[in-house]
Amino acid sequence: MSDSKCPKLSVPVMATYLSEVTKEKAFIELGESDDVKDTSLSQLRQLIEETESVKPCGEIMKRLKTVDDGFLLRFLRTRKFNVEKAFDLIKAYNKYHKKYPDVVGPVSEEEVRQRIHQAQPGVLPYRDHEGRVVLLFNIKDWDPVAYPFWKVVQTYVYLIERLLVSEETQINGIVIIENFEDYSIRQMAAVRISDYRKVVGMFQGAFPLRFKGVHFIGQPSFFVKLYSLIKKCLDSKLVNRVYLHGKNADSFRQAFPPELVPSDFGGTAPQYDGH
């Protein structure tokens, strides 16, 4: 989707500043202020220093002593400046990286660009009506042999890490739209339970991310049955952020203004073209 066809932007996807609207949201929703940030960062760094010599967290704590405040703020904002919870999130983040080295490993930018172009996953070049970054996934042309699911997860990790550089995204969060209209049995069979655990872990307490939900459109009945099994692995907060719209355009358009969403993802904007 070219810039000329995008809605007028108030804040870019990779904004390097905080808008006044988002500053107000951070204060209301997160309790954020300059004093709170300074105090919380100091307390978090104290915890890191105290844990430096304690196994198994010692190594990551040594590394965290050298990171800038911006990186630690991701964890504090995700946990609404509860320092203990932010510290637990750091440990969960480290555990995820150790447990799944395949999906957090290096990937070339060229490969990522190819996947973005195919919306597997893609990124809208503008934020939605709530200031969130919108990720897209189109199942139609996904070939699980050429592009196995762990590589899909790897791309999500790559994108999320880079999107979180923007403080706007740290505060407003990320939302996903998945077009499952052409989802096949072959595609379903290619994804193992262990693969789903990688996805669940990413969005359920292992990343400093305000995850605002995933919206499925056009999904067939057998996916609904599959989700009923996956659902058992989700906590109640994540369950409440999974929306199965199916063919119900009205429910989907209550979640997103149609003019913001590409026509191949249930909206009325020009088709997604990967730009």
Span 150-202, pLDDT tens digits: 999 999 999 999 999 999 999 999 999 999 999 999 999 999 888 998 999 89
| Per-residue pLDDT, 57 | 58
- The number of residues in the chain equals 275
Residue 135 bridge partners (DSSP): 123, 176
Over 70: is that where the pLDDT of 72 sits? Answer: yes
DSSP annotation of 267? S
Coil, helix or strand at residue 171: helix
Q: Which two tokens stand for residue 58?
A: 């010692």
Q: What CATH number does residue 158 fall under?
A: 3.40.525.10
Sorting pLDDT into bands at 50, 70 and 90, what band is 4? very low
Q: Are 244 and 214 in contact (CB under 8 A)?
A: no
* 106-110, 135-139, 175-179, 206-210, range with the lowest pLDDT: 106-110
Q: Which two tokens stand for residue 208?
A: 């400093």
Look-up of token digits 């990186």:
71
Number of domains in the chain: 1
| Per-residue pLDDT, 60 | 61
In angstroms, the CA 143 to CA 145 distance is 5
Longest dimension (CA), the chain: 56
DSSP annotation of 130? T
Phi, psi of 103 (to 5 degrees): -85, -15
CA 264 to chain centre: 21
Look-up of token digits 């967290």:
57
Over 70: is that where the pLDDT of 61 sits? Answer: no
Q: What mean pLDDT is predicted for residues 13-39?
A: 96
| Per-residue pLDDT, 22 | 96
Name the strand (E) or helix (H) holding 211. strand 211-217
Sorting pLDDT into bands at 50, 70 and 90, what band is 79? very high
Q: What mean pLDDT is predicted for residues 245-263?
A: 92
Mean per-residue pLDDT over the chain, rounded: 89
Tell whether omega for the bond before 56 is within 30 degrees of 0, i.e. cis: yes
Name the strand (E) or helix (H) holding 174. strand 174-179
- Give the structural domain span for 106: 1-275
Query: Cβ-count burial of 266 within 10 angstroms (0-12 exposed, 13-18 middle, 19+ buried)?
Result: buried
| Per-residue pLDDT, 5 | 44
CA distances from 209 to 19, 79, 229 (A): 19, 9, 25
